[in-house]
Amino acid sequence: MNLTFDATASTFEHYRSLPSESPEAIRAAIWAAARLSGPARVLDVGAGTGRIGKAFIAAGDFYVGVDTSLAMLREFPATSGNCLLAQADGQELPFRNDSFDVVLLFQVLSSVDDWRSVLKEVGRVLRPGGCVAVGHTASPESGIDAQLKRRLTAILSEMQIESHRPEKSRRQALAWLDSSSVRHVHSQAVSWNVNATPQEFLLRHSTGARFAALPAPLREQALQKLREWAETEFGSTDAQFHEKRRIELDIFELQEGTGRDFAAPPYEKHNRK
């Protein structure tokens, strides 16, 4: 994974806040699907600032959070002895085979360029009978966010800028996981209502790592075009739209041997927070 969130680490959660009960609800849904009763060894790939991981730490799990961005990990409020943070790439995890009971991939598979390498590595470090939990925040297809995403994709295409298609990557990855699993549980962990505005989308999207990697003049041009479209389409970028958002989880128990063709790197090669 070659994305970096270093430049947006300090404001990442400000534009992507979740209901306070979300982390605990996510853990509970995973534990029910994975048939776990007590603490477990958990790897969180793309741990970021810890907005999901904190529930696992509080529950007493041995939690390992990895992220390519050291700046994001520095925002992680972890002080517990059962937590390890490491700067690492999901395509080359610095852990031995069969090291974890659960691997978390929250908002990861829609972002990476090579999801196959990530999933094979996940299969390698997951113990036989362990589970991988894929999570993402979903909003209505007809909602304000979805409309703005589609329009921004069109604008980037008109500017001859190749646009990443996160939903396509995620669907392909989920299909691969389903074909490599012996059990698949889909769950809606939590849902909540928001008053969404085009302005909120513009601010949040400007801090996204993939979009922020574009040259500044192109970013500003694309956002200005999107702002003008929103003002025409909705009357104002401050117009409010009531919509429901939800956290969806897909929990897979992988077939034994998934990813074992990868060589196991030494555990010691990690870069702590």
* Domain chopping of the chain, boundaries: 6-139+165-194+244-272
The reported pLDDT for the residue numbered 2 is 45
The reported pLDDT for the residue numbered 207 is 72
The reported pLDDT for the residue numbered 1 is 45
- Do residues 92 and 151 touch, judged by C-beta distance below 8 A? no
The reported pLDDT for the residue numbered 53 is 94
The reported pLDDT for the residue numbered 14 is 55
Q: What is the pTM of this model?
A: 0.85
The reported pLDDT for the residue numbered 10 is 54
Q: Give the residues of the chain that fall short of pLDDT 50.
A: 1-2, 262-273
Instruction: Convert the pLDDT of each residue in 65-124 to its tens digit.
Output: 999 988 889 888 766 789 999 999 999 999 999 999 999 999 898 878 789 999 999 999
The reported pLDDT for the residue numbered 99 is 96
DSSP-assigned states of every residue in 67-130:
ES-HHHHHT-----TTEEEEE--TTS-SS-TT-EEEEEEES-TTT-S-HHHHHHHHHHHEEEEE
The reported pLDDT for the residue numbered 77 is 78
The reported pLDDT for the residue numbered 154 is 93
Q: Write the CA distances from 241 to 16, 137, 197, 237, integer angstroms.
A: 17, 17, 6, 11
The reported pLDDT for the residue numbered 119 is 95
The reported pLDDT for the residue numbered 5 is 61
Q: Write b or e for each residue in 3-25: b if 16 or more Cβ atoms lie within 10 A of its Cβ, otherwise e.
A: bbbeebbeebeeeeebeeebbbb
- Do residues 55 and 75 touch, judged by C-beta distance below 8 A? no
User: How far apart are the C-alpha atoms of 237 and 197, rounded to whole Å?
Assistant: 6
The 3-class SS string of 126-177 reads: EEEEEEEEEEEEECCCCCHHHHHHHHHHHHHHHCCCCCCCHHHHHHHHHHHH
Class of domain 6-139+165-194+244-272: alpha beta
**CA nearest neighbour of 102 among 181, 34, 189:** 34
